[in-house]
Amino acid sequence: MIPDSLTQIQYDTVYNVFSLVIASQLFTSIFIIISLKRVLPRYRQAMTVAAIVCAIAAYHYFRIFDSFKAAFVTEAIGGAGNYVQVAGESFNEGYRYVDWLLTVPLLLLELIAVLALARKVQTSLLYRLIPASALMIILGYPGELSGDNGVRGIFGLLSTIPFAYILYVLFIELTKSLDRQPRSVRRTISQLRLLLLLTWGVYPIAYLLPMLGIDGSDAWVGKQIGYSVADILAKALYGLIIYRIARMKSFADDP
Amino acid sequence: MIPDSLTQIQYDTVYNVFSLVIASQLFTSIFIIISLKRVLPRYRQAMTVAAIVCAIAAYHYFRIFDSFKAAFVTEAIGGAGNYVQVAGESFNEGYRYVDWLLTVPLLLLELIAVLALARKVQTSLLYRLIPASALMIILGYPGELSGDNGVRGIFGLLSTIPFAYILYVLFIELTKSLDRQPRSVRRTISQLRLLLLLTWGVYPIAYLLPMLGIDGSDAWVGKQIGYSVADILAKALYGLIIYRIARMKSFADDP
Amino acid sequence: MIPDSLTQIQYDTVYNVFSLVIASQLFTSIFIIISLKRVLPRYRQAMTVAAIVCAIAAYHYFRIFDSFKAAFVTEAIGGAGNYVQVAGESFNEGYRYVDWLLTVPLLLLELIAVLALARKVQTSLLYRLIPASALMIILGYPGELSGDNGVRGIFGLLSTIPFAYILYVLFIELTKSLDRQPRSVRRTISQLRLLLLLTWGVYPIAYLLPMLGIDGSDAWVGKQIGYSVADILAKALYGLIIYRIARMKSFADDP
Amino acid sequence: MIPDSLTQIQYDTVYNVFSLVIASQLFTSIFIIISLKRVLPRYRQAMTVAAIVCAIAAYHYFRIFDSFKAAFVTEAIGGAGNYVQVAGESFNEGYRYVDWLLTVPLLLLELIAVLALARKVQTSLLYRLIPASALMIILGYPGELSGDNGVRGIFGLLSTIPFAYILYVLFIELTKSLDRQPRSVRRTISQLRLLLLLTWGVYPIAYLLPMLGIDGSDAWVGKQIGYSVADILAKALYGLIIYRIARMKSFADDP
Amino acid sequence: MIPDSLTQIQYDTVYNVFSLVIASQLFTSIFIIISLKRVLPRYRQAMTVAAIVCAIAAYHYFRIFDSFKAAFVTEAIGGAGNYVQVAGESFNEGYRYVDWLLTVPLLLLELIAVLALARKVQTSLLYRLIPASALMIILGYPGELSGDNGVRGIFGLLSTIPFAYILYVLFIELTKSLDRQPRSVRRTISQLRLLLLLTWGVYPIAYLLPMLGIDGSDAWVGKQIGYSVADILAKALYGLIIYRIARMKSFADDP
Ligand SMILES: CC1=C(/C=C/C(C)=C/C=C/C(C)=C/C=O)C(C)(C)CCC1
Ligand SMILES: CC1=C(/C=C/C(C)=C/C=C/C(C)=C/C=O)C(C)(C)CCC1
Ligand SMILES: CC1=C(/C=C/C(C)=C/C=C/C(C)=C/C=O)C(C)(C)CCC1
Ligand SMILES: CC1=C(/C=C/C(C)=C/C=C/C(C)=C/C=O)C(C)(C)CCC1
Ligand SMILES: CC1=C(/C=C/C(C)=C/C=C/C(C)=C/C=O)C(C)(C)CCC1
Ligand code: NA
Ligand code: NA
Ligand code: NA
Ligand code: NA
Ligand code: NA
Ligand code: NA
Ligand code: NA
Ligand code: NA
Ligand code: NA
Ligand code: NA
């Protein structure tokens, strides 16, 4: 699926978008860590997790960026030509799954932690959401590796089961607990869930593309941009909204 | 627009100026973070944003520096000769737009945050300034990429609309709120806005140059120096003035 | 024992697993350091040690990762071929023993520190556990180096003596002191010891493999994955459980 | 002025001296940051500036070190031969001027800040010392670049005017304010000024050397060592004395 | 004295031992910095110095490690052959003297600082110990450089004079002040001095070896290991004992 050749504009665009993700995740992480003291202790766990998630993403995008840079080369003066895959180096898409395996459970933990529900409810939610999310990623992986669209389809389907379950828990079960949240933050929490739905949806859609025959270097570049934008929204923006909720709840608890 | 060849003096000058920007932004950022505790909590958000902006700029100048170093080479002993563009590497001007996309909205946020206006006024200002500034950068980008002066002109014009709007908000609307600022800081805030006007003006002017036929390696070197100086003033000096205002307001609020 | 050649899937798998270990250890370490203030001072020593252990592991996996990357190369376009050992570089398994020499005693120290036993009991336990654990690692090393299965067996056996002694101290002697722990954490401490038993067991089993004739590239890849997973569980997960116990005990001591 | 060739002893000496400067500046900076809390808040600004100055110097010496290492090469086994300038790389003396442009004004700021004079006196001093010091560096630069001894002399002379002015302000004007300093620190402040005089004097003397015909590789090595030692004294030792004064004044203010 | 060739086992051993020193020094430094708040303010200076010493050592071992890796190469597949000195790179023993010049005076400062003696006694001790220790290192250096055993002997002898003086001050003069230390720490302080004596003794002995005709690659490898172990004990372990003393004295002062 990795294209043999990219035009300079394609190469530069992917290059700059990856660098944008690095900067976004890294500095969101640092911003959140510096701001930790501005919320009540009970919300710091959620914010720390948010910062760690962005830092993990920054780490993986550093590696993705270097992997991309090494994998495609040109011989044109000033880089003004086509970039082709080089001998001995590969663009390693696998980093994304490694990243998700760590960050997707943490994103759910972040959400639950910021709600500061009763201990029992919280534990019950986490004991179901975290294994489900790990399962979702692990099941998707063999499909991604396989060149065969049938295998891709089957594992995609299997992976969708825990995905659906996660959505069920977040959108049906959790809704009840929302009533106990301070009125002022309810809207923001709903926005957060919506953001989660919209951004997480990008990943299975991108997974579908090769099965729909959408291929070639344009599709690939589009997919990289899609992933990158989704990653910024699903981690950095998401983390900033977590911070906002933590601020609002801190104020509501201790005005 | 990137020149095929630079003299050693041109090469060394750009090289040293880029390194100067790295050092200025990086250590301003660290200085502001260390000094965070010297202002009242309500001004720390503004200062944190100021530090993050400088850190983002340092990050991008690290990349710009490396990109420049790789893109131009010489074969002369001791580097004492002309530097030419090398095969396979390009000087990536795109980093600037990536940088602006992140830092320009944050610079406006910094300014609004340090004023510590009523929550409502603040939200209303940010909801207009931040999208306008993002639009300004995004509209300028296709013009920068295009080799055609007509296209450059059109996108430059489109980009100027949100730019004008931002200036309108800052210089007309905001002026009313200034009356509510402690007398002692009013002058410093005005200086800050003036600094913003003068430094931000550099970017559209640099954008114009190729349309005015000002080209060649001298113009290019001049542009890089211009950008670098403007970046130091618009981010590092600006951040230090924000710190100064925060100190003054902290003292006025809690003498 | 290092295979001459790896398939791309084997190479990529090891590569991604090593990167996963780096990210897990590094960010667990940072997470624990940030969370230090959430437990009472008397439990911070244990948590600091937990963070240091993960940081040491991250350091060694950085080196292991680079060593692996340099040692195996391919000439296939896009890296889509077999990877063979290169001239002049070696994959350095020795890093693991260096890592263990530092981290294994610290893992025992972590456990003892979080129990916050009476000073005397604590000292007596440490004076026996730490030398025993250092001895265990040092005795295993010559066997690992030797190509001869007889030598391997003898040193393995010698190394098992301090290993058995450590287990004896932890599972027989320590059990008495557990009664003095707050009721609420007893279960978690037992889980921690169980985790220790299960994960530490992986290392002598991996050591046995070549003596059982389980060799070849698949076995080697399996061993690397086994080590990696065991390292994540024995250090990062272990450290997080230490944090959990410290939180619970902080709450029990000062509700 | 950069020699074509260095003996191994010359090469190794410069190499080790540069590394010594890196370590001295970097760890002095870290030491001062860690020690920040040991002085009263009113002296922390001075100490923060001292730490930043050392950090900026460490940054520049990292670059100078790498530049030196790349610029001189040998073909002898074990490096045991002469080192000659290589094609395509240059030793960049320009870093020193970039460094001075940032650090020299900050060194003066440090001194004024630790005195904690009346706000007005302080502002007046800074408004004169900082522009003068920037002017001094900027005027010296064209002379350094020029190969011509006449040009060198003229710019050296011009640069000496602000230099003399700075010394006048520090040694004549400032002396009056010293009476208001706690008796116990007066001697230390005088020592600090003396250190400043002695170390700053090294730079114009080194500037003179080529005009006196003192050239060749020995003179060059001597100059590098001279700069390095002066930089350690003028920044790291100076910063540590600032710390000492801040400690003494903290104690005098709040025994 | 640097051997022309190393076997793989020799190469790997030195390699792993250097990496062990890096990890030990780096993480001891971090551990001590994190633990700073666990002792009373009056002991933090000593601990900060201990952390800085370990950090300086980590820095130099990073460089020594890289220098070693670059200086010896093999052409054997998988690195399984002899390693020989390469053209153009040298193993730089000079780093050790640079390191000592900074760390040896600091180690003495650490010791004096943790005793928290009367200001006057402290100053008098430091004014004698620090110059003596710097002299000791500087006098040893020319002997180390020289290939001639006579020169080596003379400078070794000269260097031994300040060495003897330091031991005299520590073991005769200081003994009197020990009576004023809290009874509980006296034993630990004596252990610390003993550790100092035993580890510092390693350096002059290693210096003697070439004069005793103990040469060749085995002797060289042994010397590197000896230095490394001595460095871990004399800095990292020493720093941890300083921490222990600071904890005990904090407890004795403010139970
Ligand atoms: C349902 C499904 C998938 C879902 C992936 C998701 C939901 C990933 C979320 C990633 C996030 C949130 C990353 C961090 O920002 C896969 C594995 C693509 C396989 C196809 C089916
Ligand atoms: C109006 C205009 C532009 C404005 C750019 C500005 C105003 C950039 C500001 C950048 C800053 C402040 C950077 C950080 O220091 C463009 C995009 C060049 C395109 C042409 C029209
Ligand atoms: C008994 C035994 C061994 C035990 C090793 C152990 C128990 C290692 C533990 C490592 C850990 C816990 C690492 C960090 O997570 C050896 C040396 C393989 C040699 C064979 C016999
Ligand atoms: C008078 C004079 C000069 C003065 C330079 C000085 C005074 C530099 C100080 C540097 C410091 C203090 C660096 C940091 O430690 C120049 C520019 C060489 C040019 C010749 C005339
Ligand atoms: C007496 C003597 C020496 C002493 C060296 C010492 C005592 C070094 C201590 C180093 C330490 C403590 C390093 C850090 O851990 C030399 C210079 C070898 C030269 C020969 C005579
Ligand atoms: Na490339
Ligand atoms: Na690969
Ligand atoms: Na170059
Ligand atoms: Na490019
Ligand atoms: Na490889
Ligand atoms: Na090797
Ligand atoms: Na070199
Ligand atoms: Na150059
Ligand atoms: Na090597
Ligand atoms: Na050398």
Consecutive 10-residue averages of pLDDT for chain E (255 residues): 92 96 98 97 96 98 97 96 96 94 97 90 95 97 87 96 97 86 87 95 90 88 95 98 95 86
Contact in structure between E124 and E77 (CB atoms under 8 Å): no
pLDDT category of residue C175 using cuts at 50, 70 and 90? confident
Chain E residues in contact with C138 by the CB 8 A cut-off are none
A39: left (phi over 0), alpha (psi -120 to 50) or beta: beta
Cα–Cα distance for residue pair D34/D54, rounded to 1 Å? 14
The Cβ-side half-sphere exposure at D18, using a 13 Å CA radius, reads 22
Q: What is the C-alpha separation between B217 and B6, in angstroms, rounded?
A: 7
For C108-121, what is the mean pLDDT? 92
Does A19 sit within 8 Å of B63, measured CB to CB? yes
Q: Helix, strand, or coil here: E252?
A: helix
Residues with CB under 5 A from ligand 15 (ion): D 12, 79; E 90
C129-133, D115-119, E38-42: range with lowest mean pLDDT: D115-119
Surface-to-core class of residue E147, CB atoms within 10 Å of its CB (0-12 exposed, 13-18 middle, 19+ buried):
exposed
Q: What is the pLDDT of residue C160?
A: 98
Phi, psi of A254 (to 5 degrees): -145, 75
CB C132 within 8 A of CB C166: yes
Determine if ligand 4 sits within 6 Å of the CB of residue D159. Answer: yes
Cα separation, E86 vs C205, whole angstroms: 40
C90-99 average pLDDT score: 94
pLDDT of residue D5: 96
Of the partner residues C27, C34, C79, the one whose CB lies closest to the CB of residue A90: C79
Strand A5-6 and strand A83-85: the pairing is antiparallel
Number of Cβ pairs < 8 A linking chain D and chain E: 70
Task: Indicate whether D146 pLDDT > 90.
Answer: no
For residue E143, the tally of other CB atoms under 10 A from its CB is: 21
Nearest in space to A239 (alpha carbons), one of A129, A110, A117:
A110
Nearest Cα residue to atom 1 of ligand 1: A160
Q: How confident is the model at residue C247 (pLDDT cuts 50, 70, 90)?
A: very high
Task: Kindly indicate the confidence band of residue D185, based on its pLDDT and cuts at 50, 70 and 90.
Answer: confident
Interface of A with C in 54-113 (CB under 8 A): 55-56, 59-60, 63, 71, 85-92, 94-95, 97-99, 101-102
The answer to whether A252 contacts chain C (CB < 8 Å) is no
Q: Is the CB of D162 under 6 A from ligand 4?
A: no
Task: Inspect the structure and tell me whether chains E and D have 3 or more CB pairs less than 8 Å apart.
Answer: yes
Ligand 4 lined by D25 (C-beta under 6 Å): no
Q: What is the mean pLDDT of residues C148-168?
A: 96
CA of B175: how far to CAs of B131, B171, E80, in Å?
21, 6, 74
Enumerate residues 6+ apart whose C-beta is below 8 A from A11: A72, A74, A79, A83
Measure the CA angle with vertex E185, ends E179 and E187; round to 5°. Answer: 80
Q: Edge-to-edge strand order for the sheet containing C72-73?
A: C5-6, C83-85, C72-73
Parallel, antiparallel, or unpaired: how do β-strands B72-73 and B83-85 relate?
antiparallel
Q: Is the CB of C227 under 6 A from ligand 3?
A: no
Torsion C165-E191-E98-E216 (CA) sign:
negative
First to last CA, chain C: 55
Q: Do D88 and B80 touch (CB under 8 A)?
A: no
Alpha helices in D35-91 (DSSP H): 44-71
Given this model, what pLDDT does residue D169 score? 96
C10: tokens are 């084997």
Three-class SS of residue B202? Answer: helix
Task: State the distance from the centre of ligand 7 to the C-alpha of E156, rounded, in angstroms.
Answer: 54
Q: Which ligand is nearest to the CA of A16?
A: 9
Neighbouring subunits of D (3+ Cβ pairs under 8 A): B, E
Closest CA to D229 of D13, D46, D70, D12: D13
Looking at residue B180, its pLDDT comes to 81
Strands (E), D37-190: 72-73, 83-85
Q: CA-CA distance, D231 to D24, in Å (whole number)? A: 10
Instruction: Quote the CA–CA distance of C177 and C118 in Å, as a whole number.
Output: 10
ipTM over 0.85: yes
Q: What is the mean pLDDT of residues C180-203?
A: 91
Which residues have C-beta within 8 Å of that of residue E160, sequence separation ≥ 6? E204
pLDDT per residue as tens digits for the range D229-254: 999 999 999 999 999 999 999 999 88
Encode pLDDT of B130-180 as tens digits: 999 999 999 999 998 887 889 999 999 999 999 999 999 999 988 888 888
CA distance A194 to D194: 66
DSSP assignment string, D179-214: TTS-HHHHHHHHHHHHHHHHHHHHHHHHHHGGGGT-
pLDDT, position E117: 87
Question: How distant is the Cα of A76 from the closest Cα of chain B, in angstroms?
Answer: 5
Q: How many residues does chain D have?
A: 255
CB contact under 8 A, D98 and B16: yes
The residue-averaged pLDDT of A228-247 equals: 97
Q: Judge residue D172's burial from the number of C-beta atoms within 10 Å of its C-beta, 0-12 exposed, 13-18 middle, 19 or more buried.
A: exposed
Residue having the nearest C-alpha atom to atom 2 of ligand 2: B204
- In degrees, rounded to 5, the angle at the alpha carbon of residue C240 between the alpha carbons of residues C235 and C243 is 125
What is the token pair recorded at E16?
């792993």
Cα gap D18→C69, rounded to integer Å: 32
Contacts of D195 (CB under 8 A, 6+ apart): D233, D234, D237, D238, D241
User: pTM for the full model?
Assistant: 0.96
Backbone angles phi, psi at C5, to 5 degrees: -150, 145
Question: Cβ of B92 and A12 within 8 Å?
Answer: yes
Q: Which residue has the higher pLDDT, D110 or E148?
A: D110
Q: Give the pLDDT band (50/70/90) at residue C179.
A: confident
Contact E60 D12 (CB under 8 A): no
Across the range D146-161, mean pLDDT stands at 93
Pairing mode of beta strands E72-73, E83-85: antiparallel
The 10 Å Cβ neighbour count of residue A4 is 12
Nearest to D98 among B19, B30, B74 (CB): B19
| Ligand 1 atom showing the smallest separation from residue A136 Cα | 17
Find the DSSP H helices in chain C: 8-35, 44-71, 94-115, 119-145, 149-168, 174-178, 183-208, 216-231, 238-253
Share of chain C above pLDDT 70, in %: 100
Residue A52 tokens, joined: 């760690």
Q: What are phi and psi of B3, to 5 degrees?
A: -65, 150
pLDDT tops 90 at residue B211: no
pLDDT tens, residue by residue, B98-138: 999 999 999 999 999 999 888 899 999 999 999 999 999 99
Q: What percent of chain B has pLDDT over 90?
A: 81
Q: Is the CB of E231 under 6 A from ligand 5?
A: yes
CB proximity A30 to C under 8 Å: no
pLDDT of residue B107: 98
Residue D1: pLDDT above 80?
no
Q: Kindly determine whether residue A88 and residue C80, on different chains, have CB atoms separated by under 8 Å.
A: no
Report which residue type is found at D75.
E
Query: Which ligand is closest in space to the CA of residue B73?
Result: 8
Q: Does the beta carbon of E203 lie inside 6 Å of ligand 5?
A: yes
Radius of gyration of chain A (CA): 20
Q: Over 80: is that where the pLDDT of B1 sits?
A: no
Q: Which of E52, E85, E101 sits opposite D27 (nearest CB)?
A: E52
In this complex, the residue of D33, D85, D94 whose CB is nearest that of residue B78 is: D85
Q: Please identify, by atom number, the ligand 5 atom nearest to the C-alpha of residue E196.
A: 12
Interface test with E, best of C36, C56, C90 (most E CBs within 10 A): C90
Question: Does the Cβ of A156 fall within 6 Å of ligand 1?
Answer: yes
Specify whether the CB–CB gap between D81 and D8 falls below 8 A. yes
Q: How confident is the model at residue D210 (pLDDT cuts 50, 70, 90)?
A: confident
Q: Are D106 and D53 in contact (CB under 8 A)?
A: yes
Is residue E110 within 8 Å of E50, Cβ to Cβ?
yes
